[in-house]
Amino acid sequence: MDAVLKSLPLRASSEPKRPTQAEVEAAVRTLLLWAGDNPEREGLLDTPMRVAKAYKEMFDGYNKDPAEELGRTFEEVEGYQDMVIERDILFHSHCEHHMVPIIGRAHVGYLPDGKVVGLSKLARVVDIFAHRLQTQEAMTAQVANTIQDTLKPRGVAVILEAEHMCMAMRGIRKQGATTLTSTFTGVFADSPDDQIRFMTLLRTSSKA
């Protein structure tokens, strides 16, 4: 199978200069004091270091370009033009309002226009956007629009379903409530029949 390699520009960054490791650890100690604990007790001595390391892993999406993940496509698909769907992509993110977890799954589909992308790349795009501070609505649109703008398929369908810890752990404290969001582009946006077929395939697959 022949691969088409595309060179894509990296995402321009206007982010402020990041603090040093020492500054991050000092900030964590401040939060521990504010919470009412003692950062000098044995169980918390290494917590600032661990938190800094964990944040570097959980928010590594800021260091990656999702469009770059879609840069390698395959055109030798025997004329395949029907839906490609990757369902149940598990993800974890963090709410940008309270910085607590969002736990969910994504279902991503597209109608190719002569070329396809490796299925793992769809999951990577989801993870890159998930590993940033997010709202579910914005993340849904970001995943769909990146695939549409980069691959230029005939259409993209993205559905996210997730539980928000900012709703389960604080405020109204409703555990188990799930939020669903969707974005449709191209043919999916113009054709309710294609939206229905996408949803039907998701339900059929879940019962298999």
Active site residue 136: yes
φ, ψ of residue 188 in degrees (nearest 5): -65, -40
Active site residue 96: yes
CB 61 within 8 A of CB 128: yes
What span, in angstroms and rounded, lies between the C-alpha atoms of 128 and 42?
A: 35
Query: Which listed residue (86, 92, 95, 163) is catalytic?
Result: 95
CB 195 within 8 A of CB 163: no
Query: Which listed residue (94, 107, 131, 164) is catalytic?
Result: 164
Query: Nearest CA to 130 among 97, 103, 151?
Result: 103
| 94 in a labelled binding site | no
Query: Which listed residue (68, 131, 136, 148) is catalytic?
Result: 136
Query: Which listed residue (86, 92, 166, 195) is catalytic?
Result: 166
Identify any residues that bridge with 106 across adjacent strands, giving them in sequence order: 89, 160
Query: Which listed residue (21, 75, 97, 137) is catalytic?
Result: 97
Active site residue 131: no
Q: Which burial class, exposed, middle or buried, applies to 51 when counting CB atoms under 10 A from its CB (0-12, 13-18, 19+)? A: middle
Query: Which listed residue (98, 161, 163, 195) is catalytic?
Result: 98
| 92 in a labelled binding site | no
| 98 in a labelled binding site | yes
* Residues annotated within a binding site: 95, 98, 166
Q: List residues forming the annotated binding site for Zn(2+).
A: 95, 98, 166
Q: Just list the catalytic residues.
A: 95-98, 136, 164, 166
